Amino acid sequence: MEDTDPVEAPAAELVVHPERRGTGHGRALGAALLAATGKRLRVWAHGGSSAARHLAQVLGLSLFRELRQLRRSLVPLDLAEPVLPEGVTVRTFEPGRDDAAWLAVNRAAFAHHPEQGSLTQQDLDDRKAEPWFDPKGFFLAERDGALIGFHWTKVHAEEGLGEVYVVGVLPDAQGGGLGKALTSIGLHHLAAEGLPTVMLYVDADNTPAVTVYERMGFTTHEVDLMYRTES
């Protein structure tokens, strides 16, 4: 259980061994979590099974968030070359030099998404220290020398899997195809790295993003559901 968010209710993940399901263990664990959190709780149900839905209903939890994992093959990468909006250029991230500008754009692009939009310099430093971090896969879009969007890719080396880690565009630069172009640039990069498959996570209610990704050949691979108490 995680209880570090100053605003949101504590978050937890509840798992019951397949051979022990249907015997009340899930209900007992859920009740214990509710008691420990004062009936303020968020719980992830990975895979969105009917059993998890039933347990959430029994515990009095309501569906709050649907997170989809989408995937597509990169072999072949049947996408046209990306077309950038007029006046926009793309280069790769330079650690240190671009930190402050990227944090500002990320904050503006994800003002509606507290988890992503609240990233700090320390959060960025932590990610730059990860073994998977590679600035060659971190693309920045600029207009007149100012950063207006980005696509940060990630490689899961052990799984041989690429990821559209995060794509962000300033609000006043949205709607002109920049997000799609940045996504395409990242996919071409991951394909050139020899990765056979790419994945991404997107909230189901982010209809514009889901539409763009589906048009680019992504399909739903897995669904995770978050339930929470109403209080």
The answer on whether 162 is annotated among ligand-binding residues is no
Question: What is the DSSP annotation of 106-165?
Answer: HHHHTTT-HHHHT--HHHHHHHHTSTT--GGGEEEEEETTEEEEEEEEEEETTTTEEEEE
The answer on whether 186 is annotated among ligand-binding residues is no
The answer on whether 212 is annotated among ligand-binding residues is no
The answer on whether 155 is annotated among ligand-binding residues is no
The answer on whether 154 is annotated among ligand-binding residues is yes
The answer on whether 14 is annotated among ligand-binding residues is yes
DSSP state of 2: B
Cβ proximity of 221 and 199 under 8 Å: yes
The answer on whether 83 is annotated among ligand-binding residues is no
The answer on whether 169 is annotated among ligand-binding residues is yes
The answer on whether 213 is annotated among ligand-binding residues is no
The answer on whether 38 is annotated among ligand-binding residues is no
The answer on whether 177 is annotated among ligand-binding residues is yes
The answer on whether 16 is annotated among ligand-binding residues is yes
The answer on whether 96 is annotated among ligand-binding residues is no
Neighbours of 210 (CB within 10 A): 17
Residue among 116, 175, 88, 209 nearest 108 (CA)? 116
The answer on whether 210 is annotated among ligand-binding residues is no
The answer on whether 103 is annotated among ligand-binding residues is no
The answer on whether 90 is annotated among ligand-binding residues is no
The answer on whether 163 is annotated among ligand-binding residues is yes
DSSP state of 172: G
The answer on whether 88 is annotated among ligand-binding residues is no
Annotated binding site, which residues?
A: 2, 14-16, 115, 154, 163, 167-169, 174-180, 201
Known binding positions for acetyl-CoA: 14-16, 167-169, 174-180
